[in-house]
């Protein structure tokens, strides 16, 4: 039977603190670390001619220290919503290095790597809005054998970020990436969260992934 990609989104804006958006944006702009990612992990699905991808992130440890309410929601509210999306129990990651992080794109030359996930449930809390034609959409390839953004684009769906929306999906078999932004002065911020299940526990995380993401 052919694998089917699914995603579920929830408007949780009323569950968030009144200053949640500005607090996350301020933290991201202050603490984000720029990295040049080489797409060589077992999870990478970039074409062979791509040697580096510019990314920026805020680590889970900084989020926990500076915005403890956000970490608490990962452990409680976000976890409970995630449990409604699958037919087995769901657990947070025990390793703070990759449990949660903030992904930051700005300007025209940044995107997120084409890859597949190793965790069975990914959660994304969108901080910024990116409607159609503005860039920053999550592009998910429906061809599980796609090995470049061009091959992903041939047969895909696109998820457009909406501020205050929480999105869950399972993309272990579906290559996906985040598109470039369309204007120099725009920026994109999303909280990315890893969740695990009994059938795909945290111990199954690939051994090279922390080094690949620069979070050893």
Q: Is residue 27 part of a domain?
A: yes
Question: What CATH number should be reported for the domain holding residue 129?
Answer: 2.60.120.620
**Mind spelling out the 3-state secondary structure of the chain?**
CCCCCCEEEEECHHHCCCCHHHHHHHHHHHHCEEEEECCCCCCECCCCCCCCEEEEEECHHHHHHHCHHHHHHHHCHHHHHHHCCCCCCCEECCCHHHHEEEEEEECCCCCEEEECCCCCEEEEEECCCCCCCCECCEEEECCCCCCCHHHHHHCEEEECCCCCEEEEECCCCCCEEECCECCCCCEEEEEEEEEEECCECHHHCCCCHHHHHCCC
Flag whether 211 is in a domain.
no
The parent domain of residue 85 ranges over 7-198
**Cα separation of 184 and 181, whole Å?**
8
Confidence of residue 211 (pLDDT cuts 50, 70, 90): confident
Position 128 in a domain: yes
User: Tens of pLDDT along 98-154?
Assistant: 999 999 999 999 999 999 999 999 999 999 999 999 999 999 999 999 999 999 999
Distance CA 176, CA 149 (A): 8
Percent of the chain with pLDDT over 90: 94
Structural tokens at position 156: 């895909």
Is the pLDDT confidence value at 203 over 70?
yes
Let me know if residue 216 belongs to a domain. Answer: no
Mean pLDDT, rounded, for 40-67: 96
Q: With respect to residue 214, please indicate whether it lies within any of the assigned structural domains.
A: no
Domain count, the chain: 1
Segment 40-49, tens digit of pLDDT = 999 999 999 9
Residue 58's pLDDT band (boundaries 50, 70, 90)?
very high
Identify whether 39 is part of a domain: yes
């Amino acid at each position: 039977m052919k694998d089917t990609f699914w995603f579920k989104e929830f408007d949780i804006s009323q569950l968030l603190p009144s200053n949640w958006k500005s607090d996350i944006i301020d933290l991201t702009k202050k603490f984000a670390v720029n990295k040049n990612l080489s797409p060589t992990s077992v999870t990478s699905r970039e074409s062979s001619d791509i040697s580096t991808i510019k990314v920026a992130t805020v680590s889970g440890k900084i989020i926990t220290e500076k915005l403890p309410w956000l970490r608490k929601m990962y452990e409680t509210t976000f976890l409970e919503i995630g449990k409604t999306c699958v037919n087995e129990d769901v657990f947070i990651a025990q390793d703070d290095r990759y449990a949660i992080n903030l992904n930051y794109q700005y300007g025209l030359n940044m995107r997120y790597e084409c890859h597949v996930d190793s965790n069975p449930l990914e959660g994304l809390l969108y901080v910024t809005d990116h409607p159609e034609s503005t860039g920053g959409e999550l592009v998910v390839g429906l061809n599980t054998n796609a090995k470049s953004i061009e091959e992903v684009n041939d047969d895909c769906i696109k998820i457009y970020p909406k501020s205050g929306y929480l999105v869950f999906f399972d993309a272990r078999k579906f290559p996906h990436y985040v598109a470039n932004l369309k204007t120099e002065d725009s920026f994109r911020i999303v909280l990315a969260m890893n969740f695990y299940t009994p059938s795909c526990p945290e111990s199954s995380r690939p051994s090279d992934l922390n080094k690949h993401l620069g979070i050893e």
